[in-house]
Amino acid sequence: MFQVRNYVSELSYEFIRSTYNFLSNVDSGHATESFTDFVVGHGELWSAQMLAAVVRKNGIDCKWMDTREVLIVNPTSSNQVDPDFSESEKRLEKWFSQSPSNTIIATGFIASTPDNIPTTLKRDGSDFSAAIMGALLRAHQVTIWTDVDGVYSADPRKVSEAVILRTLSYQEAWEMSYFGANVLHPRTIIPVMRYDIPIVIRNIFNLSVPGIMICRPPVDENEDEQIIDSPVKGFATIDNLALVNVEGTGMAGVPGTANAIFGAVKDVGANVIMISQASSEHSVCFAVPEKEVKAVAEALESKFREALNAGRLSQHSSSSWPENGEYSWC
């Protein structure tokens, strides 16, 4: 018990010391966001160190890795980060040369910017970091431990006949996760796809279940085509969406109309889920999250005010969001 208390005390002292050093060096303009990422990441730092200590206590050669020293990411404007694989590979090689070990306990979720400022991998960052590290190490397989048995062919709350799938292709998992299935965040799949590394999702509370493997479909050597065991793997839905329809004879054959529409949508930061355009080019329909439709409608009204006043577009609905889930200009 004394050893445990002593170890925790050392971690607490290290946290205070590193916090002081961080605040002494960070640019005041980045203090709020950077400090939040710095503090949030300490859960990973502590758990990795304690787990490594337990492994060593059981006689296994083990070291822990602070991935902020290895994993470099570039923040984007959409509250996401893009891994810098080239720089990360260089730092990983240097880390291994200085800390060789048969077993490595690496932190998840945290990384650093090119300026060595601590940051996080944002939403679903732990799974994302596992995939990134798997790609950097050219691993044979990446295993994600969760609290579910696998991925269902449909939402079992809505479809009673839903079954647990055993395999998914990268593209299938990508699509299903985008449309709300509890698989992985789409960005998690990107790093492993580059090197055809399978991802296995298993339930840590139910080891008897094999879980699901996400990988590239097998190829028929004779036919040189991918083998498809089922034409449809599953169904997924997204709730609370709204349709926005822009129509008008003044749109047909006019270059740049779609660019103007989606430029206005981009300016308000709305996420377009689906796009459909009539073959006559006189209408464009797209889906956005319902909570964003009011801002989208106001942006489109402002963008196309001249066309509305000239009669090239006519607004059929009121300026407020209608209850039937559609906002239309005709």
Query: Domains in the chain, ordered, with CATH?
Result: 1-122 (3.40.1160.10), 124-237 (3.40.1160.10), 241-329 (3.30.2130.10)
Which ranges in 183-229 belong to alpha helices (H)? 186-193
Q: Write down the pLDDT at residue 46.
A: 86
Strand pairing class (283-289; 241-247): antiparallel
What does the alpha-carbon distance between residue 218 and residue 96 come to, in Å, rounded to a whole number?
Answer: 34
Residue pLDDT, tens place only, 21-34:
544 555 545 556 66
> Ranked by mean pLDDT, which of 2-6, 47-51, 245-249, 313-317 comes out on top?
47-51
Query: In this structure, what are the phi and psi dihedrals at residue 62, rounded to the nearest 5 degrees?
Result: -155, 140
What does the alpha-carbon distance between residue 15 and residue 46 come to, in Å, rounded to a whole number?
Answer: 9
Name the percent of the chain lying above pLDDT 70. 77
Give the containing element (helix H, strand E) for 244: strand 241-247
Choose between 153 and 322: higher pLDDT: 153
For the chain, the straight-line distance linking the first and the last C-alpha, in angstroms and rounded, comes to 74
Q: What share of the chain is helix, strand, coil (3-state, %, to 5)?
A: 40, 20, 40
Residue pLDDT, tens place only, 233-288:
888 778 889 999 888 877 777 788 889 999 999 999 999 989 998 777 678 899 99
Q: Check: CB of residue 151 under 8 Å from CB of residue 232.
A: no
Is the pLDDT reported for residue 52 higher than 60?
Answer: yes
Q: Check: CB of residue 41 under 8 Å from CB of residue 118.
A: yes
Residue pLDDT, tens place only, 154-186:
888 888 888 888 999 998 888 887 776 667 878
Q: Check: CB of residue 77 under 8 Å from CB of residue 113.
A: no
CB atoms within 10 A of CB 100: 10
Cα dihedral across residues 43, 48, 54, 57: positive or negative:
negative
What does the alpha-carbon distance between residue 24 and residue 35 come to, in Å, rounded to a whole number?
Answer: 11
